[in-house]
Amino acid sequence: MICRWRTFGELERLALSIVADQLGQPIVVPELVVIEATAHYRRELDTVLDSFDTATEDLTKAFNLEYTHTEPQPDPEERELAWRQRLQEMCEMVPIHPPDAVEALEREIHGVAPARERVKKKPGTGACDAAIWLSILRDHRERNEVGYFITKNVGDFLDGGRLKPRLLADLGTGVHLLHVHVGIDGLLKAMGTSTSDASIDTEEVTKRGFAAICDGLADSPVAPRAIFESLEGRRFRISVRSGEALEVCKAQRFARSEDSVTLVDARWKLLVDCRYQDLDTEDPQTWGVIRDLNLTGRLQIYLPEVGSSGAEAQLIAAQLTSDKEVSFIEDGKLLIFG
């Protein structure tokens, strides 16, 4: 399911964040899943670039052109890095421990679940799935709390909707329950979380969501990433001076027991100031600042039920563009386009 996320504003990904918040638990993703999903995304980028190069050659031949030029040039490495960064911002990544990697290979050799059963005269398969499971198992034990395992790989991990017997044996006794769900939809149903379309206008979204956007963007790299060519070696702070929701693209109500929140995906325009500072600065009180930057884009927030106590609106994802592009040059100077 992670492989399908492109903007991290997809409804499925946002629903996961909402349920995690309702459960009071973090979203945890094994390192190998992050690596797999990133590699899948890079292959998609390369495929698109290959198609584009072919189309460019055909265009050049058809119109008898000496060359064609694209500006800006697509950079798959930069795009891949940005995608992985967004993934790691929404979750905790669980590293693979070397002993687990060795055991995963042993499970593949011997055909022990979740590796595939051995087929005579054929090599074993499934070390990656085994390593992912062992990472999940280790993390679940260390957290010492009820967990929720979400997968769509039914064949390798599940047997009749339950973990395979060997995986249940891995959990052993005296360990908190690990609930298993087939996809995010399965988790929503099991939690008793219902969904329905909601209606909310831009004025109310602005009124109820603006403070959450100010808080959510203050220390997030989302806005600096839209403004600066590179964030390397610097820290950033965003002050949102004004903002307005322009269009509600989607509003969905999530209800569980007596609690409910409304997820709002809307287009916004924001006026911000951006402060920046070298990570190795000798004076942590000194910041450079760029004022009056106009940002536009999609922001996903969720709003608690009107009248509910203790809950506040939260920004859970954002995709922004800036009216200016800024690059750092020598001696701390800035090159500003736009």
Three-state SS string across 171-201, please?
A: HCCCCCCEEEEEHHHHHHHHCCCEEEECCCC
Mean pLDDT along residues 316-321: 95
Q: What is the pLDDT of residues 16-59, one digit of tens each?
A: 998 898 888 999 999 999 999 999 999 999 999 999 999 999 99
Tell me what pLDDT residue 211 has.
97
Tell me what pLDDT residue 337 has.
87
- Copy the structure tokens of residue 299: 């922001």
Alpha carbons 142 and 104: distance in angstroms, whole number: 19
Q: What is the pLDDT of residues 209-258, one digit of tens each?
A: 999 999 999 999 999 999 998 898 999 999 999 999 999 999 999 988 77
Tell me what pLDDT residue 32 has.
96
Mean pLDDT along residues 316-328: 94
Banded model confidence at residue 11, pLDDT cuts 50, 70, 90: confident
Tell me what pLDDT residue 69 has.
86
Banded model confidence at residue 132, pLDDT cuts 50, 70, 90: very high
**What are the residue boundaries of the structural domains of the chain, listed by start?**
2-190, 194-337
Banded model confidence at residue 311, pLDDT cuts 50, 70, 90: low
Tell me what pLDDT residue 257 has.
76
By DSSP bridging, strand 162-163 and strand 234-256 are unpaired
Alpha carbons 336 and 213: distance in angstroms, whole number: 25
Alpha carbons 107 and 116: distance in angstroms, whole number: 9
Task: Give the 3-state secondary structure percentages of the chain, helix then strand then coil, rounded to 5.
Answer: 40, 30, 30
- How many percent of the chain have pLDDT more than 70? 98
Mean pLDDT along residues 157-166: 94
The CATH code belonging to domain 194-337 is 3.10.450
Banded model confidence at residue 1, pLDDT cuts 50, 70, 90: confident
Q: Is pLDDT of 307 > 70? A: no
What are the distances in angstroms from CA 265 to CA 15, 118, 246, 297, 317? 12, 47, 11, 10, 9
CA angle centred on 192, ends 188 and 193, rounded to 5°: 55
Instruction: Using DSSP, state whether 243 is helix, strand or coil.
Output: strand
**Do 127 and 103 form a contact (C-beta atoms < 8 A)?**
no
Tell me what pLDDT residue 46 has.
96
Phi-psi region of 126 (alpha: psi -120 to 50; beta: other; left: phi over 0): left
| Residue 165, CA atoms < 13 Å, CB-side half-sphere | 0
Tell me what pLDDT residue 338 has.
80
Mean pLDDT along residues 107-120: 95
Alpha carbons 65 and 59: distance in angstroms, whole number: 8
- Copy the structure tokens of residue 115: 């590796």
Q: Is pLDDT of 308 > 80? A: no
Beta strands in 72-228 (DSSP E): 92-94, 147-151, 158-159, 162-163, 178-182, 194-197
- Copy the structure tokens of residue 153: 């790989």
Banded model confidence at residue 320, pLDDT cuts 50, 70, 90: very high
- How many percent of the chain have pLDDT more than 90? 74
What pTM does this model have?
0.85
Tell me what pLDDT residue 225 has.
94
CB atoms within 10 A of CB 20: 18
Q: Is pLDDT of 62 > 80? A: yes
Task: Decide: residue 160, CB within 10 A, 0-12 exposed, 13-18 middle, 19+ buried.
Answer: exposed
Alpha carbons 303 and 212: distance in angstroms, whole number: 9
Q: Is pLDDT of 310 > 60? A: no
Q: Is pLDDT of 81 > 70? A: yes
Mean pLDDT along residues 180-187: 94
**Residues β-bridged to residue 191:** none
Mean pLDDT along residues 255-269: 89
Task: Decide: residue 169, CB within 10 A, 0-12 exposed, 13-18 middle, 19+ buried.
Answer: exposed
